[in-house]
Every structure is written in structure tokens, then in C-alpha cells.
Amino acid sequence: MNQMLPRILPAPDGKPLPPEDTADAFRAFARDLADGRRPWTTGEADFLAGLFDQLAPNWDTTQATGRDDPVRDALARGGPFPHGPCLEVGSGTGQFTRLLATAFPTVVSIDLSEQMLRQAARRSPARVRADASALPIADGSLAAVAAIDMLLFPSETARVLAPEGVLLWINQLGQDGPLYLPAHDAAAALPGHWQITEAAAGWGSWAVLRRTPGISEVRQHRNVLRAAGRRTVQRRI
């Protein structure tokens, strides 16, 4: 069952709002990409890598919110989390890597932008330049994928997560953020069935998405149990 937790971290004054027209265009792009209504091409990857390479030197001082409420609240109330490695996709300058490392034994940071990854050198010990649309990660090998102000690549995310793995879906400015996608839309875009725990925190929002068995899997599981029950009864007779 989905769960909307009450807010406990208030939204302070002075929320930084991105220019509305640019934010609208990015949100539409993020939504269409997640829904599969538009493809991810090398053109888009090159454009974003170039854009974030340019922004990297001043990211922490001019673009970052300087707040960690949504990530902190997600880690405090969104668990329990499975034990195992966490992949931080679109990790940027690594502002949240250390915080993620308080909940997971290993955090690997992946970003398209070499310059963003360079800025993360002192914060993230494991950095890889890669595209989240084609992750260099084995199937089912991760306890968590953390996507903080990042685009959603549904099939890759579902592929690399272990069956009990979780997606931490975090928007630092909530619905005002340029890459905002409601948690329900993210769950609908992911293959399979996902349960959502979410809350608003500070200026933003967070959601933890967990895979749940769909109706067909539940039926299959029931049939296995029934068959096992029949075998036990036959053996007793």
C-alpha cells in the first residue's frame, strides 16, 4: 500500500525558484522521457554533458540549494533499506554522496559530465562517467538507486536493482524543480509494480519506491503454495 507520510521538516523562507519557462520545458522533457514518449539520443546526452560541464565550476555556489532536507528525511523515514551497494545516478558534484553513505556500505557515483565528477573528487571515492540510460552495472546487483534531481530511465533502473532493491526518487524543489516527476508517475513508468512511501521535506519531496509482486505473481505464488500443500498432505497420507 502506498504511504504519504506527514511533513516533519518545514519549508524555510527563500525557496529559490528556477525560471518558469525553462523549468516547464525541462519538466515536459523529463515526463516524456520517463513515459517513453521520446527517445534518449546521443544528441541529448551530448547536450546535457556539455551544459553540466559548463555549470560544474560554480554549481555548488550558484545552482545548489545548499539544503539536504529531502535526502535526510528519506533516509530517516523511508527505510528499512536493504543492505548492499547504492548507485547515485546523476550524482553531480557529490553533494549528497556522504549522506547516502550513512545508509549504504558503498555508494558509486555516476554522471554524464566529467566536470561535475571532477568537482565531486573530495566527496565521492567511486566515480564513473557513464550514461544512466545504459548503466555499466550487472542485472539485479544493487540495493538502491538514488536519483536526486535527475531524469528517470525506468528500464535501466529496474534492471540493475535487486528484487528487494529500492529507488530513492528525490526532487530538491518538489514540484517547482526542473526535473520534477511525481512519484506516482515514476512508479507507473517503471516496469512491474512498485509501492511508494513519500513525503514533503524542506523545499522538496522524496519518495522511496519498492517493487511489489503484481496480481499474476501473487496468483503464481498462491498456486505454488497450494501445490506444496497438496504434496505435504499426500506425504502424510
Ligand X SMILES: C[S@@+](CC[C@H](N)C(=O)[O-])C[C@H]1O[C@@H](n2cnc3c(N)ncnc32)[C@H](O)[C@@H]1O
Which chain residues interact with ligand X by CB under 6 A?
A: 45, 48, 52, 64, 89-92, 95, 110-113, 116, 131-133, 148-151
Dist. CA 27–CA 229, nearest whole Å? 51
Dist. CA 177–CA 161, nearest whole Å? 26
Count of Cβ atoms closer than 10 Å to residue 35 Cβ? 14
Residue 173 Cβ vs ligand X, minimum distance, rounded to whole Å: 10
Residue 151 Cβ vs ligand X, minimum distance, rounded to whole Å: 5
Nearer to ligand X, 29 or 193 (CB): 29
Residue 113 Cβ vs ligand X, minimum distance, rounded to whole Å: 4
Partner residues linked to 21 by β-bridges: none
- Quick check: 103 and 81 in contact, CB under 8 A? yes
Nearer to ligand X, 66 or 163 (CB): 66
Which residues, 6 or more positions from 159, have their beta carbon under 8 angstroms from its beta carbon? 135, 139, 140
Nearer to ligand X, 134 or 164 (CB): 134
Nearer to ligand X, 27 or 193 (CB): 27
Residue 194 Cβ vs ligand X, minimum distance, rounded to whole Å: 21
